[in-house]
Structures are given as C-alpha cells and as structure tokens.
A = this chain, B = another copy of it.
Amino acid sequence: MKTSLLALSLSALVATAAMPALAQSDTIETERHDVQLHTITDGLENPWGMTFISNTEVLVTERPGHLRRVSLDGTVSEPLSGVPAVDARNQGGLLDVAVDPDFANNSYIYISYAEPNPDNDKENSTAVARAKLDGNALTDVEVIFQQYPKYESTGHFGSRLVFSPEGHLYITLGDRQTRKDASQELDTHIGKTVRIWPDGSVPEDNPFVNKDGALPEIWSYGNRNVQGAALHPETKELWASEHGPRGGDEINIIRAGNNYGWPDASYGINYDGSILTEHTHLEGAEQPHYYWVPSIATAGIMFYTGDKFPEWQGDLFVGALRDRHVARLDLEGERVMHEETLLKGDIEQRVRAITQGPDGYIYLLTDDPDGRLVQVKPAND
C-alpha cells in the first residue's frame, strides 16, 4: 500500500518534470485586442509546418527532417519513424504537414519536402507523400506528387498544403531560385501551384488538362515562391502569400489557370538594388491582391474564424520572417481595408507558420534552431 502510493507520487513528479512551465509574456496591446503569448515549447529545431490532430495535439515538422507530436502541455515526442529522406540543405528539408479531411477515419496525413534525386545528390524538388499516422510512426508511406523536373538548387521550394472543400489537395511550389523563367512555361511544375486528388491523380477539370505540352497538375503559374496558403472562409478560394525579391511580396487569390506574372512583372527589385523588371503589369497576368515594398518575407498565412478574438474574425494573418512579426490584414470580404503590424519585438524569431487551433487560439511556429510553438491568447484569458 505504502509502496504503491509512493510509486504514484513519483510518477506524478516525473510527469510534472517532463512538462516545462509555459513561459507567458506580459500583456501586449494591439489595435483591437490585448493579447498574451504562451510558449508551449522552445525545443523545436527549425520548425516549418504544423497541423492539429486533436484538440490538444499538433503535428510539427522540423526542416532538418523530423516530424514530432507536440502536446499543448509542452510535451514533445521523439521523431516519428517512417519519414522519407529529405534534402535538408539551405531552404530544403521537411516542410509542410496537413491532415486528411477524413483523418478521424483514415488516419492519413500529408507531408511536403525537398526530395533528393537518387541519381544525382545535387538535385532535388518538392514532393508530397501521404502516410498513415500510427502512434509515433508513419506507415503506408506513398509519394503522391513530385515536382518536375528535379533541379540543382537549394532554394524556393514553396510547399504549403491546403485541401479544398471538395477534397482536392493544393500544393504551392517555387521557382527554384535560378529557374525563374520556367515559371511562365507550362511544361514544368516550376513556379506553379498544382491541384491533385489525395491519391495523386489529376482532377479532370484542372485548367490545363487538355492543353498540349502542359502538365495537367498545374492550377496557376507565374508564382515565385509561395510559402503561405489558406482557404478564404467565405469564398473557399485559395489565397497565397508569395515571397517577392527585395520588395514585392504578394498576397494573391489563386484562381484556376491564372498567370501571376513572375518573373515578367513584379513590384520588387533585385537584392543588389538594381531594377528587376520595369514592368509591374503584364498583359494577361493578374495584379497582386496586395503587396509589400520593402518585403516582410511572407511565410504562413491564416484566416481567423474563431470566437476568442471577435474583432479579428474574417481577417488574414501573415507570418513574417524579416521583422519577426505577424501582419494582420483587416478584410471586409476580400477587400484589404488596413494593415496592422502585430507582435513586432515580442516574438524575436522568424514567424514561419500560423494556424488557428480547435480552441480558437492562434498558434505560431518560429523558424529557429531553438524554435518555438507559441500560443496567442487574449490577455488574462
């Protein structure tokens, strides 16, 4: 009897020790809500993507190639087994993660990553795998998409995964940094967004399925490096953030068959300060819905629809790498009425991903060797 009580106490003690106390910020004032930041964990290595798999647990990717389960109490699992090999040089590695719309029944998750070329270790491209999540293991791993062609570059992988209401999977891609002209050519997946079914098959109504020489997965083209994507809560259209060159970060509404202009039209300039293109407009191409000069280095995006921050409902939140903040675009329908710079100086790490939890709080991933999962709550909640 005494022994088992002691054992119980010890095990409670151990459990407590495994859950670090959540660091909590002072109250931060914003235009419409006072908030506090709660650091769920700061033990993540360059986390890049996340998705909730229950009310209290998040799957998180780490760019070097690990996938972990993170509980909101701060517990971080060992790396899950079964993750494919990734090319983790520079911007490459394990990138986004999403759950199947029917995850509760089929246990499918999807991961995007820089997939090495087995025949040439300098080459890679963005790929997407589907797998079943079984405890701390991925099983039945199946590659459902490979960006064509593989290419010698360690930059501009794009890589957000978003499901449409009909169950299509959107995959955002990049121009591989030194292949920008291919963004205007329909015979590659470079500088594109694509739309597939979750088994890798091509929807019959994709915009270029009947076009000779065009890859049928293509949904849009002329995209430079799309590292944020989300469905608009009302229109259900795909919105995306796109890294510009120095200046010219964009928000676009990504519609079937559209050309978003890169590299022939841009509001950006080259990193050396020279004019990239004199053209901000290109005949037949879409203007950005909204853009930044200078760049904020746009990453993950999220529409807020919860009840914890009523004044933020319907607004678009954009993670920013450069100034380590979150931009709030106050939307009236699709119209940007105002931009607020949130949390600048409060996060101190690059904001790579942002999502709304089942609890209505907002969650951020910071891309850092000591990267964090941060919960944004109303002050004194």
- Find residues 254-309 in chain A having any chain B CB closer than 8 Å to their own CB: 267, 280, 287-293
The reply to whether A247 and B290 contact each other, CB–CB distance below 8 Å, is no
Minimum Cβ distance to chain B for residue A252 (Å): 11
Interface stretch (choices A57-65, A75-83, A331-339, A368-376):
A331-339
Choice from B287, B293, B338, B339 contacting A332 with Cβ under 8 Å: B287
> Which residues of the partner chain B approach A338 to less than 8 Å between Cβ atoms?
267, 290-293
Interface residue tally for chain A (C-beta within 8 Å): 21
A340 adjacent to chain B (CB < 8 Å): yes
Minimum Cβ distance to chain B for residue A333 (Å): 9
- How many copies, total? 2
CB-CB contacts of A322-351 with B at 8 A, as 1s and 0s?
Answer: 000000001010011111100000000000
> Which residues of the partner chain B approach A340 to less than 8 Å between Cβ atoms?
293
A31 adjacent to chain B (CB < 8 Å): yes
A140 adjacent to chain B (CB < 8 Å): no
Choice from B31, B32, B287, B337 contacting A290 with Cβ under 8 Å: B337
A77 to B213, CA, bound (A): 71
Please give me the residue from chain B that is nearest to A332 by CB atom. B287
6 A-B pairs with least C-beta separation:
A287-B332, A291-B338, A31-B293, A290-B337, A291-B337, A288-B337
